[in-house]
């Protein structure tokens, strides 16, 4: 048992309309098991080994999240989609445009599932949703091996499989990882989200080999088996954070977990982050889809352009981990401004036709910046809005990211067809990313902070109360 003393919680500066945020936390004796585990992350050491010499549960959850995302729907459905286009075209006679519509449906389902999963994760819990969804998703992927010549069945199957994977999109993994960490939040999210980069680098190559040797139907069967591999790992390692304890006593802290979706949407930070990530989505979608073509347009061979696409993938993995490490040491506003300015410069070089042999540098910079997107989003949501509605807020902002990507891919493609060049749309994107840098630079100090050196938090937040042990 333990005691906690905290004062009256004042409204946050800049959010005067959020009067419902105010609440009083009184001196109270409570069982440790009933305390919200997220409010006391700062009491955990967060080292790889805990005081008893065992691996800290947060790092086990991070590892399970990394494996889950490497073999999850982002990699299996989205990144592997291109590997099946030509085999399906040959077998069923479907046109490239008709098959590509399937990728559009997957993107649309990412938006839908992000919103639904965000709502459910905050209410049902991450672990239950992941363990329940994973076998269904694996069965659905295996079922794609039984497609017939009716393309409507193909479309319906992609929608169904995307829905079956509701709990194993990255929202669930980011929420459960964020619940374990505070001072090492950035690094843990970086390692977890690196799973998507690993899966994107490995799975398409594996699928290409299986298709060449055994056919596309077998490839879908193999992906279905791989989708189930993370289940026993998740059963063992993917657990919600346990209540933290101070090594010197049994102190636990009862405090608010964060803002609701409605409260968050009334803050300037929410809309700045939403707009910034919509621009990030536009940049990400454009480069991932159009980079090879725009490099060929600039005079590079298709082979060399393909190699640079691999460079982008490697830089994406490195970007996730390195950015996570930086987030724990420097203000996110500063990091995002620097990344956006670097991306803006790289896009400007692409728009100019990659002069002076700058294509490799531009691809590396863009890959590094794109690698930062998901762990930065999880970090910002945790720091500005807390964990109370983490998944819902994350889902709404990520939906904006996906919508930005879908719109930009279409507009840039149409512009290229009409103008015969990528120069103008890439120049527009370079300006847009510069605007994103301005938006991120105007973010206020964190509301829920681990006390990053040199940072300040809003008054009345988590470190406002004084904890007293007995």
The per-residue DSSP string of 192-233 comes to HHHHHHHHHHHHHHHHHHHHHHH-HHHHHHHHHHHHHTHHHH
Residue 258 DSSP label: B
d(C-alpha 421, C-alpha 354), whole Å: 13
Confidence of residue 453 (pLDDT cuts 50, 70, 90): very low
Please say if the pLDDT value at position 363 is more than 80. no
The predicted structure's pLDDT at residue 202: 85
The predicted structure's pLDDT at residue 201: 78
In contact, 346 and 399? CB cutoff 8 Å: no
Longest Cα–Cα distance of the chain, Å, equals 74
The predicted structure's pLDDT at residue 350: 85
Tokens of 297: 């347009």
C-alpha torsion sign, points 276, 279, 284, 287: negative
Please say if the pLDDT value at position 378 is more than 60. yes
Q: Higher confidence at residue 165 or residue 245?
A: 165
Helix or strand holding residue 388 (H, E): none
Residues 99-136 pLDDT 10s? 878 887 888 888 888 888 888 887 888 888 999 999 99
Question: What phi and psi values does residue 71 have, to the nearest 5 degrees?
Answer: -115, 30
Please say if the pLDDT value at position 15 is more than 50. no
What's the CATH code, domain 258-459?
1.20.1250.20
Please say if the pLDDT value at position 12 is more than 70. no
Q: Which of 144-153, 394-403, 445-454 has the highest mean pLDDT?
A: 144-153
The predicted structure's pLDDT at residue 303: 67
- Summary count for the chain: helices (H), strands (E): 18, 5
d(C-alpha 396, C-alpha 402), whole Å: 10
Residues 412-423 pLDDT 10s? 888 887 888 888
Angle between helices 302-327 and 359-371 (to 10 degrees): 40
Confidence of residue 356 (pLDDT cuts 50, 70, 90): low
Q: Which of 201-215, 252-266, 279-293 has the highest mean pLDDT?
A: 201-215
| Percent of the chain topping pLDDT 70 | 80
Note if the pTM is more than 0.85: no
The predicted structure's pLDDT at residue 306: 64
Residue that the structure tokens 């305390």 belong to: 35
How far is CA 130 from each of CA 115, 157, 283, 410, rounded to the nearest angstrom? 16, 21, 30, 33
Query: What SS3 state is found at 262?
Result: helix
DSSP bridge pairs for 8: 24
| Mean pLDDT score across all residues of the chain | 79
d(C-alpha 103, C-alpha 83), whole Å: 12
Tokens of 205: 């190559």
Helix or strand holding residue 107 (H, E): helix 96-124
Tokens of 204: 């398409």
In contact, 309 and 291? CB cutoff 8 Å: yes
DSSP bridge pairs for 258: 386
State the span(s) of the chain assigned CATH 1.20.1250.20: 47-254, 258-459
The number of C-alpha atoms within 13 Å of 458 and in the hemisphere containing its C-beta is: 20
* Statement: 47-254 belongs to CATH 1.20.1250.20: yes
What residues contact residue 197 under an 8 Å CB cut-off, 6+ apart?
A: 313, 316, 317, 320, 371
Residue 386 DSSP label: B
Buried-exposed string 219-229: b where 16+ CB fall within 10 A, e elsewhere: bbbbbbebbbe
Count the helix, strand and coil residues of the chain and give each as a percent rounded to the nearest 5: 70, 5, 25
Please say if the pLDDT value at position 159 is more than 90. yes
Residues 427-437 pLDDT 10s? 999 999 999 99
Question: What phi and psi values does residue 8 have, to the nearest 5 degrees?
Answer: -70, 135
- Taking residues 63-78, report their average pLDDT: 91
Please say if the pLDDT value at position 284 is more than 50. yes
C-alpha torsion sign, points 166, 68, 241, 460: negative
In contact, 43 and 248? CB cutoff 8 Å: no
Counting every residue written for the chain, the total comes to 470
d(C-alpha 177, C-alpha 49), whole Å: 16
């Amino acid at each position: 048992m333990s005691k906690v003393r905290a004062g009256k919680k004042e409204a946050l500066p800049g959010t005067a309309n959020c009067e419902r945020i105010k609440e009083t936390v009184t001196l109270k004796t409570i069982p440790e098991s009933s305390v919200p585990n997220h409010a006391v992350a700062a009491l955990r050491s967060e080292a790889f080994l805990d005081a008893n010499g065992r691996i800290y549960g947060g790092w086990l959850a991070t590892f399970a999240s990394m494996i889950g995302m490497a073999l999850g729907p982002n990699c299996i459905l989205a990144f592997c989609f291109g590997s099946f286009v030509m085999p399906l075209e040959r077998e069923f006679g479907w046109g490239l445009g008709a098959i590509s519509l399937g990728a559009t449906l997957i993107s649309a389902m990412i938006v839908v599932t992000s919103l639904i999963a965000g709502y459910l994760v905050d209410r049902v819990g991450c672990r239950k949703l992941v363990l329940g969804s994973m076998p269904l998703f694996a069965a659905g992927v295996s079922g794609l091996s039984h497609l017939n010549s009716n393309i409507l069945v193909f479309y319906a199957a992609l929608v169904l499989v995307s829905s079956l994977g509701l709990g194993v999109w990255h929202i669930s993994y980011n929420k459960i990882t964020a619940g374990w960490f505070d001072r090492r939040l950035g690094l843990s999210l970086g390692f977890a989200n690196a799973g998507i980069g690993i899966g994107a680098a490995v799975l398409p190559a594996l699928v290409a080999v299986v298709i060449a040797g055994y056919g596309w139907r077998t490839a879908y069967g193999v992906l279905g088996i791989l989708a189930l591999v993370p289940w026993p790992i998740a059963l063992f390692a993917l657990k919600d954070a346990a209540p933290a304890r101070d090594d010197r006593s049994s102190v636990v802290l009862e405090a608010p977990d964060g803002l609701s979706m409605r409260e968050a949407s009334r803050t300037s930070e929410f809309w700045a982050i939403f707009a910034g990530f919509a621009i990030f989505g536009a940049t990400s979608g454009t480069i991932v889809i159009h980079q090879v073509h725009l490099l060929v347009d600039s005079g590079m061979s298709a082979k060399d352009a393909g190699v640079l696409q691999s460079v982008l993938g490697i830089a994406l993995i490195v970007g996730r981990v390195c950015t996570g490490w930086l987030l724990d040491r420097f203000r996110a506003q500063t990091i995002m401004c620097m990344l956006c300015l670097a991306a803006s410069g790289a896009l400007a070089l692409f728009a100019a036709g990659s002069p002076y042999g700058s294509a490799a540098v531009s691809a590396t910079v863009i890959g590094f910046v794109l690698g930062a997107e998901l762990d930065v989003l999880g970090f910002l949501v945790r720091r500005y809005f807390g964990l109370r509605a983490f998944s819902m807020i994350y889902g709404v902002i990520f939906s904006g990211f996906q919508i930005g990507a879908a719109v930009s891919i279409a507009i840039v493609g149409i512009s290229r067809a009409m103008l015969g060049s990528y120069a103008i749309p890439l120049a527009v994107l370079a300006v847009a990313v510069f605007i994103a840098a301005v938006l991120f630079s105007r973010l206020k100090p964190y509301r829920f902070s681990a006390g990053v050196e040199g940072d300040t938090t809003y008054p009345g937040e988590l470190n406002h109360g004084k904890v007293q042990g007995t």
